[in-house]
Amino acid sequence: MSEIIGLPQPPAVGATALASGTFEGVTVVVTGGGTGLGKAIASEFARLGARLAILSRKAEHLDAAEAAMTEIGAEVLCIACDIREADSIAAAFDQIEERFGLPGVLVNNAAANFPSPTEDLSPNAWRTVVDITLNGTFLMCREYGQRLLSAGVAGSIINIGATYAWTGGPGFAHSAAAKAAVKNLTESLAVEWGPYGIQVNCLVPGLMPHEDMTADIQGNLKNTNDKDLCQPAMRVGQRQELGWAATFLASPYARFISGHTLVVDGANWQRRSLTNPEVIPIRVQMGRPPFGED
Ligand code: HXC
Ligand code: NAP
């Protein structure tokens, strides 16, 4: 009998596959590292000896990052920065260099997203998501790349993507378009900057629920009853699984991997139905009246 057992659970938070001290003396910058998946990624680098620089807008998120990194025993510098603003990014890198020297790793994790039928998006709503998710990632890469190139020093960039970069994301068209561009930017930069020692990859999380998810995203998730049963893995992802993948990609053991997008989602994005399930329009799924009647 073929039992449905799903993919095994990972080791507990705190376990590491890489040797202890792999990132000793290395500074790792994580945008949005005070919440959810960014904090999980920063934590795995911290456990392996890295010094962390966390960039985000809100004081409460920076405080949370400071507390989490300190608890692990890592040195941490938390900087208020909106990644939509090039000057603010340059000032943040000045602070990081002054305290720690040039970072060895940049993780572009910060992003913006909320569900909406596309016809309901205002120009500013579209612009905001693209500005944070795509333009912010570009501005961070640009500042970091310029500094590494000027110094003649190698480095590693990990851009956080999403699987709807390939498939489109009905109900998340703004974010999906921006994430597709982030994946594409990764591929261009990997080739342009490889000669200068800069590795550029994209890392994609699957469904990894966490308490910091915005009310919009949590509200959307509530529409799915049993989140484990909706995954081919028969379970959702655990955030440390993303952190381990990030530390591997930026480690000495992955130096020849560049321009790659690694998906950590238990194959959920490749799922197709044998039959054709009924199509339910996005605005019906979201409980919105017909367009023009609200
Ligand atoms: C429609 C919305 C909206 C919503 C905001 N807007 N929320 N439109 N539906 N739910 C519109 C506003 O009305 C405004 O347009 C414009 O967007 C900008 O809104 P602000 O609140 O002024 O923007 P800002 O303060 O910059 O905040 C950005 C934000 C916010 C995206 C709206 O949610 C945020 O800061 N998010 C950061 C964290 C985040 O989004 N995490 C999700 C990552 S998860 P108007 O026209 O009124 O001026 C993820 C999962 C991917 O990416 C996979 C999922 C399956
Ligand atoms: P999250 O908790 O909402 O984190 C987003 C982070 O980005 C916050 O810490 C936020 O901090 C920061 N941020 C947003 N706008 C910013 C700005 N303009 N400047 C600087 N920082 C900004 O989301 P998450 O679930 O951890 O997601 C992390 C990454 O994974 C994102 O790239 C997301 O698209 C991707 N992803 C997540 C899932 C999932 O299931 N969770 C699935 C696919 C992809 P401040 O508010 O303090 O600025």
Ligand nearest to the CA of 61: 2
From CA 246, how far away is CA 48, in angstroms rounded?
12
> What sign results for the dihedral spanned by CA atoms 91, 92, 95, 101?
negative
Do residues 120 and 44 make contact, with C-beta atoms less than 8 angstroms apart? no
Ligand 2 neighbour 249 (Cβ under 6 A): no
Ligand 1 neighbour 216 (Cβ under 6 A): yes
Q: Which residues are catalytic?
A: 164
Do residues 38 and 110 make contact, with C-beta atoms less than 8 angstroms apart? yes
Domain ranges within the chain, ordered by starting residue: 27-285
Residue 212 CA to ligand 2 centre (angstroms): 9
How many CB atoms neighbour CB 127 within 10 A? 13
Q: What is the pLDDT along the chain (294 residues), one digit of tens a residue?
A: 789 999 999 999 999 999 999 999 999 999 999 999 999 999 999 999 999 999 999 999 999 999 999 999 999 999 999 999 999 999 999 999 999 999 999 999 999 999 999 999 999 999 999 999 999 999 999 999 999 999 999 999 999 999 999 999 999 999 999 999 999 999 999 999 999 999 999 999 999 999 999 998 888 888 887 889 999 999 999 999 999 999 999 999 999 999 999 999 999 999 998 999 999 999 999 999 999 997
From residue 271, how far is each of 106, 131, 176, 229, 268 by CA, in Å? 31, 30, 18, 13, 5
Which atom of ligand 1 has the smallest separation from the CA of 207? 55
Kindly report the pTM of this predicted structure.
0.98
Region of 49 please: left (phi>0), alpha (psi -120 to 50) or beta. Answer: left
Residue 109 CA to ligand 2 centre (angstroms): 6
How many CB atoms neighbour CB 53 within 10 A? 29
Smallest CA-to-CA distance from 75 within 100, 41, 95 is with 100
Ligand 1 neighbour 124 (Cβ under 6 A): yes
Ligand 1 neighbour 225 (Cβ under 6 A): no
Do residues 193 and 142 make contact, with C-beta atoms less than 8 angstroms apart? no
Smallest CA-to-CA distance from 16 within 37, 45, 50 is with 45
Q: Measured between alpha carbons, how far apart are the two ends of the chain, in Å?
A: 52
Residue 283 CA to ligand 1 centre (angstroms): 18
Residue 68 CA to ligand 1 centre (angstroms): 26
Options 2.150.10.10, 3.30.70.270, 3.40.50.720, 3.60.130.10; CATH of 27-285? 3.40.50.720
From CA 88, how far away is CA 132, in angstroms rounded?
14
Q: Which amino acid is at 218?
A: Q
Ligand 2 neighbour 227 (Cβ under 6 A): no
Q: For ligand 1, atom 37, which residue shows the shortest CA distance?
A: 112
